[in-house]
Structure 1
């Protein structure tokens, strides 16, 4: 697994821009907002009510292609 739930959204987007559609599918459309720069994927999933394990799984699928 390349992407972990402790990584910030901004960190993931910098390393793996191909994950943008996955974040958007999970309802995370404000990827450039200030919160995204310091918020971990886990924190964002909790705030938005998403299953963190499913989100991380899908993000990693996107980068394995």
Structure 2
């Protein structure tokens, strides 16, 4: 998660909007997207879609 947020800062808003507290979390460097989905029990399809939109610059 940490690497995604560093490489694509627009994903930080997605993470926060989905209720995840990965920003600044000491576990974030070790969590994958799938780890975060499981740990926070969120809808994986929506989260992955929103992440990809942010990475592509399509999320407003």
Fold-level similarity (TM above 0.5): yes
5+ unaligned residues in a row in structure 2: which ranges?
none
> How many pairs does the alignment contain?
57
Q: Indicate which of 25, 35, 39 corresponds to 1:43.
A: 35
Structure 1: 4+ residue segments shifted above 3 A: none
How well do the aligned residues superpose, as a CA RMSD in angstroms?
A: 1.1
Greater relative contact order (CA < 8 Å, ≥ 6 in sequence): 1
* Distance in 2 between residues matched to 1:40 and 1:54, nearest whole Å: 16
1:31 and 2:23 correspond:
yes
TM-score w.r.t. the length of structure 2 is 0.84
Partner of 1:54: 46
